[in-house]
Chains A and B, each alone.
Chain A
Amino acid sequence: MTAIATEPLLEGRSVTKRFGGLIAVNDVDFVVYPREIVGLIGPNGSGKTTLFDCLSRVQPIDGGRVFFKGVEITRLKPHRVAHLGMARTFQVIRVYRKLTVLENLLVSRQWRGESLWNQLRPSHPDTEGQARRLIEFLTLEHLTDSPAGTLSGGQRRLLELGMALMPDPDLILLDEAASGVNPTLVETIKDRIRALNTEQGKAFLVVEHDMRFIADMCSRVYVLNYGEKLAEGTPQEVMANEAVIEAYFGA
């Protein structure tokens, strides 16, 4: 919608990913413009997480090309993509269980290829201040020094969101970041995402099964089904789409 005449932040051209005979992502084109919140929905197993894995480069891309900020990232290493300013959360939670909540955040800060020598000291006070503000926002203050392995599932989701925000990325991929989080906090998270979007111009690509979340947050939505792009448009358009309804609720 507001994406006129700007360079795309993220662009995928005919992205394809196979697992043996299974085509998990099939020839999908997509684009995310700066300052956009875009949804990615589809039934279970439709390839959303796999597409994220391809973007963050832990899965090799079998076909097509991906550009982020005009740089081709199709074959880049995962940490390089992160340095370019893309961060993500994970459907299957990945926190560092033996590090404390604070340490988890500190170690997720913006690295951007700085020398190892500079890393041979404790984190900078500014970094720590930023981490503590995130902890406060995520309402995890009482757990600041607890090992992440002792957190509940929902608390770990929150921590993960913090870890994705920590490097101050330009694009954040959220893979069901709100599932298992209590409803009031989900509202807070939505507000925070909106604030990050409007105040700091951060873009989001959001996978979520909760349609209200998608409808509230996203200006555009892509729908995947069996790895193929089934539809795209505003949340209203997509939810009125016959094919989408059929894919979700069966014939």
Chain B
Amino acid sequence: MTVLADVAARPRGSTGRKIGLGLLLVFLVVLPLGTNIEGQTWVTNARLFQFTQMFMLITLASNWNLTGGFTGYVDFGHAVFFGLGAYGTGILMTQQHGIQWPFWAAVLGGAVVAAIFAVLVGFPTLRLKGPYFSIAMLGTFVAMREIIRVTKPVTGGGVGLTLPPYLNRALFYYLTFGLAVLVVSVMWWIRRSEFGSSLIAIREDEVGAEMRGIDTTLHKITAFAIAGFLSGIVGGMWAYQNTFIDPDVVFIESRTVELVMMTMLGGLGTVAGPVVGAATIYWLRDVVWAAFFDWHLIVEGALLIGIVLFVPTGIVGMLGDRSGTSLQRLWGRWLGSRDRPGAGPDPPRAAPPQPQGPQGDAGDEP
């Protein structure tokens, strides 16, 4: 519990914040009991379902942030791990031959598949820098969708797979809630650990980190595999809850974009950022959907542009946590510099001008 209480604030959680966070957690734990209360209409099964979705988004955004925010490798194909987890779980639970795995074992199996894939794909792609990595991962994601589509005997192809139906909103609520709490705690722990500092060192200056003795390849791949594993678990839970998976409902491009947007809104490279961002956007979307149904994608797109331009360090950054980063910082050195990335020994950092958002990193350089 003390671990969780500190999550909200990086340097030191104030007592007020700890109490607030504690109350919020207690509220979320007892919330499903509300369905038993006669006469109230707010806590419904549909409401629990919404919370379940939000918990999954918080978890996915936190995982994305491990590679995208801490390590600085902005992954546009992260949903591939979610998809592999979903398909791994689906396939293991619906095997025609041999034993059908129970849910919990299938989820772990799917997550292991996602983690192994992260290692395999990480070796070539994590050598790429900045936007080149992002685009390679987007390609990986799209390719995986087509691979799933054509491997019909195993994956059901375009027809998809139907998992054993299991309808228990409260159970999925607690599963996803527990996972979100666990993952955020893991991220908080990593941030305090030497491993976490090394990841940030890699983000800030990969060549320097390597010369100072950090095995950058090992660190990057490990972070990628952890993120892939945890997102694989979310995928498995999602598949079971949805009972039906096919390539088009699992591998949706907007799912990754969503994660990027949420993390950026909350604060890239902070523990609290993805949590705050995912929760905000999830509930905001409810409002936006209701208000501008036909327009919601445009409104969301505008929101993303607005974040990039005006709140580059996100909500957490605005609240004074300066330990995070921004897309401008991560990419500016590749897009703004005339040097070809990876060309010389002296990377981008050597070029003094660091593009900064209008109100972003102002205090960063003296």
Contacts and interface: CB of A to CB of B under 8 A. Distances in A.
Interface of A: 53, 56-59, 77-79, 81-83, 87-88, 90, 92, 94-99, 103, 106-108, 110-113, 116, 119-123, 145, 147, 149-152, 163, 167
A77 B217 CA distance: 11
Interface string B210-234: 1111111011001000000000000
A56 B350 contact: no
B22 to A, nearest CB: 23
Contacts of B205: 94-96
A79 B194 contact: no
Contact of A150 (B11, B194, B222, B366): B366
Residue picked from B197, B209, B366, most chain A C-beta under 10 Å: B197
Interface of B: 11, 189-190, 192-195, 197-198, 200-201, 203-205, 207-216, 218-219, 222, 269, 322-325, 345-346, 349-350, 361, 363-366
Contact of B349 (A92, A108, A111, A167): A92
Contacts of A99: 197, 200-201, 204
Contact of B216 (A79, A95, A96, A167): A79
B346 A107 contact: no
Contact of A58 (B211, B325, B350): B211
Given A58-B345, A147-B323, A123 B212 contact: no
B346 A116 contact: no
A113 B82 CA distance: 32
Nearest to A59: B345
Given A92-B346, A111-B213, A152-B366, A116 B325 contact: no
A110 B215 CA distance: 12
Contacts of B192: 122
A122 B192 CA distance: 6
A113 B325 CA distance: 29
A167 B212 contact: yes
Given A58-B345, A92-B346, A103-B197, A149 B212 contact: no
Given A79-B210, A96-B200, A98-B200, 17 more contacts: A78-B211, A79-B213, A79-B215, A88-B211, A95-B205, A96-B205, A97-B204, A98-B324, A107-B212, A107-B214, A111-B215, A120-B189, A121-B193, A122-B193, A147-B322, A151-B366, A167-B212
Nearest to A166: B212
A119 B193 contact: yes
B194 A121 contact: yes
Contact of A53 (B189, B209, B345): B345
B349 A107 contact: no
Nearest to A103: B197
B194 A92 contact: no
B67 to A, nearest CB: 16
17 contacts: A56-B211, A78-B210, A79-B210, A92-B346, A96-B201, A98-B204, A98-B269, A98-B325, A99-B200, A99-B201, A107-B198, A107-B214, A120-B189, A120-B195, A149-B361, A150-B366, A152-B366
List 3 A-B pairs, minimum CB-CB distance, nearest first: A82-B213, A94-B208, A96-B204
A236 B281 CA distance: 70
A47 to B, nearest CB: 13
Nearest to A169: B213
A207 B11 CA distance: 38
Given A59-B345, A147-B364, A122 B194 contact: yes
Contacts of A77: 210
Nearest to A82: B213
B313 to A, nearest CB: 11
A27 B366 CA distance: 42
Contacts of B200: 96, 98-99, 103, 107
B268 to A, nearest CB: 11
A120 B201 CA distance: 15
Nearest to B198: A107
Contacts of B365: 149
A167 B213 contact: yes
A234 B231 CA distance: 62
B203 to A, nearest CB: 8
Contacts of B193: 119-122
Given A79-B210, A90-B208, A147-B323, A120 B363 contact: no
Given A99-B201, A116-B218, A119-B194, A94 B349 contact: yes
A145 B211 contact: no
A157 to B, nearest CB: 14
A119 B195 contact: yes
A53 B349 CA distance: 16
B197 to A, nearest CB: 4
Contacts of A152: 366
B218 A149 contact: no
Nearest to B210: A78
B194 A87 contact: no
A87 B211 CA distance: 8
A230 B247 CA distance: 67
B213 A112 contact: yes
Given A53-B345, A120-B190, A82 B211 contact: yes
B363 to A, nearest CB: 7
A87 B218 CA distance: 20
